[in-house]
Amino acid sequence: MKRQVTTAILTLCALLALATSLFAEGAAAGAPKAVAVEPVADVGSVAKGDNVNHDFVIKNDGTLPLEISKVQPACGCTVASFDKTIAPGKSGVVHLVVDTSTFNGPIAKGVTVYTNDTASPQIQLTIKAKVEPYISVKPGYARYIVVQGEPVDGDIAQLLWSSDGTSFDVLSVDSQLPALKVSFREATDKERLPDIKGKQWRVEMLLSNNAPVGPLANYVTVHTNHPKQKIVQIPVSGFVRPVVAVTPPVADFGKIELKEPLKKAILVRNFATESINVTRIDNDVKGIDAKLEPVTVGREYQVRITLNPELGKGPFSGKIKVHTDSPKTPVIEVEIKGVIL
């Protein structure tokens, strides 16, 4: 009897194992299977400014259609297109285009491919390249820190030449910043770098003193007839400062409980060449005190703002007017706001 029970148990275990194996085989047979033939592709050297184009082949080794729902690039420089459905036993393509205009040297740009393959729902693809500028630029960038309205314009010159000795011409130069004027010409003998053969070109970049206050972030694009590099992009960065700056520009107290006086300070700073004095401040909000304190006369001042409990609950807003002795910036208005709970 005992032997019969043991035999029955062993038989049951064998049947369960067989059923599990058949189920797994059936599940595998009835599913898509995504396979990246070449998940990492090295396309070698490319000229700076040229687009890198590459097709990644995706095979479907399953028995159901493979669906690609999306391809997500890791960088804004990469654009992807792809076959959305791949039949069993067939292959599809994920096509990548990488813009190299802002890169130098080795790069590796990846994308994530999302599929309906439950065993491999995400596939990582990477395209590698070495971006080589055939046109050298010195200094290769333009950074401005200027004060609006000051008499001296910011003027930066770039020198361009062919790194491989190929003769080329600059055809045109474009600036996306209205206040940045650009021009080009062939460099004179005095402007040329020594021991470099071929033409050398000078690109002059002139920033107006009426440029709007704020950060500078853009490119100057140089168009050439060089056979290996048609475009050179020169990054422009920096900041145009106001004559007198207030930090922070808005006295925002946010949402607060006001059980006792609350203080906040703002800094008034002069960036102009000449001395500028803050002569007085005006405040139009009842329950708020504003006091002027010189830090460095003619250069820096503090405005200390005090909120008093008499303001009462609810939102409040108003302005502090900062008066100076400069015709450039006679009055600066600073917004005050907040909510008392």
**Domains of the chain, first to last:** 34-132 (2.60.40.10), 135-241 (2.60.40.10), 244-340 (2.60.40.10)
Task: Give the pLDDT of residue 310.
Answer: 84
Q: Are 215 and 239 in contact (CB under 8 A)?
A: yes
pTM above 0.85, yes or no: no
Task: Give the pLDDT of residue 50.
Answer: 83
Under-50 pLDDT residues of the chain: 2, 5, 15, 18-19, 22-28
What CA–CA distances, in Å, run from 201 to 193, 232, 259?
Answer: 10, 12, 68
Q: What is the pLDDT of residues 223-264, one digit of tens each?
A: 999 988 888 999 999 999 999 999 999 999 999 988 889 999
Task: Give the pLDDT of residue 4.
Answer: 54
Strand 314-324 to strand 78-82: parallel, antiparallel, or no bridges (unpaired)? unpaired
The number of CA neighbours under 13 Å toward the Cβ of 14 is 6
Task: Give the pLDDT of residue 287.
Answer: 86
Q: Give the span between the Cα atoms of 83 and 70, in whole angstroms.
A: 10
Task: Give the pLDDT of residue 6.
Answer: 53
User: What phi-psi label fits residue 46: left (phi over 0), alpha (psi between -120 and 50 degrees) or beta?
Assistant: beta
Nearest to 155 by CA among 127, 189, 180: 180
Q: Give the span between the Cα atoms of 48 and 173, in whole angstroms.
A: 17
Task: Give the pLDDT of residue 165.
Answer: 82
Task: Give the pLDDT of residue 7.
Answer: 54
Task: Give the pLDDT of residue 79.
Answer: 95
Q: Which value, in Å, is the radius of gyration of the alpha carbons in the chain?
A: 34
Residue 170: is it exposed, middle or buried by C-beta count within 10 angstroms (0-12/13-18/19+)? Answer: buried
